[in-house]
Amino acid sequence: MKFIHLTDTHIVADGLLYGQDPGARLAAAVASINAEHGDADFVVVTGDMTHWGDAAAYARFAAEIGNLDMPVHLLMGNHDDREAFAQAVPDAPRDTGGFVQSGFDTDAGRFLLLDTKAPEGHAGAFCALRRDWLRVELERTQAPVTLFMHHPPFPVGIAAMDHIMLHEAEAFHEVIAPHTARIRHLFFGHVHRAIWGTWRGISYSCMRGLNHQVALDLNRVRDRTVGNFEPPAYGVVLLGDAQIIIHLHDFADRSERFDL
């Protein structure tokens, strides 16, 4: 089984963001996915589809992402707006509380897409209603589970990003802890960096964004976020019965290819 992990597209309605065109970056990513990974089962976008959460930006995002040759699953990020998103993507699944959460079955088990957007601010939230939904989803099946969310539920060592991680991390972990043995992987965005590791027995990964990145600065205080323009990337995920492989694809790289 193969799918694509794409995150933090930060689309704006028009013009540039930090001197770059996020719409053009997304168009290039979509073209690359179609051309190089057209056999993927689907794409998952783990939040921050737009930068300002406005209707015009969602219209542009929907137009670009609609060019994918495979299904796409969309998550909320801190830069997103649920109502503007609902107008642009009215068929996006929601839970009974109105959160953009859903689950679907695959050959590799149950995939659960979580909504970690807070009512305000940039930190993540996972309230009791969302935790109850997740608890029911985890208890309804004994299949392997793969989790997707925007905010990481743990610090990554970059002070400014750790300040705006998922704030209900302990309550979140209490829900998933009984199921750790069958959680195959946790995918997230938000940090704009390629990160891999394990958290309380669960493997995880994050991909770079498309427009701009967060610099690897482990010494800064939390009131300043340092950005840079490391290349955009997406993840190519291969899942088998016994393993999961995640390739970071620098799709914009134009360096020469040659036989070794």
* CATH number of the domain encompassing residue 170: 3.60.21.10
Asked whether residue 179 is domain-assigned, the answer is yes
What is the C-alpha separation between 254 and 260, in angstroms, rounded? 17
SS3 content of the chain, % helix, strand, coil (to 5): 25, 25, 50
pTM of the model: 0.97
Residue 45's nearest CA partner among 83, 84, 109, 89 is 89
What is the C-alpha separation between 106 and 143, in angstroms, rounded? 10
Asked whether residue 208 is domain-assigned, the answer is yes
In terms of residue numbers, what domain contains 108?
A: 2-249
Asked whether residue 259 is domain-assigned, the answer is no
Per-residue confidence of the chain (260 residues) as pLDDT tens digits? 999 999 999 999 999 999 999 999 999 999 999 999 999 999 999 999 999 999 999 999 999 999 999 999 999 999 999 999 999 999 999 999 999 999 999 999 999 999 999 999 999 999 999 999 999 999 999 999 999 999 999 999 999 999 999 999 999 999 999 999 999 999 999 999 999 999 999 999 999 999 999 999 997 777 889 999 999 999 999 999 899 999 999 999 999 999 99
Q: Which backbone phi and psi does 57 adopt, to 5 degrees? A: -65, -40
- Residues in CB range of 104: below 8 A, 6 or more apart: 73, 110, 111
Asked whether residue 255 is domain-assigned, the answer is no
Asked whether residue 35 is domain-assigned, the answer is yes
Could you tell me the two tokens for 112?
């659960």
Asked whether residue 96 is domain-assigned, the answer is yes
What is the C-alpha separation between 186 and 149, in angstroms, rounded? 8
Work out how many domains the chain is built from and give that number.
1
End-to-end CA distance of the chain: 29
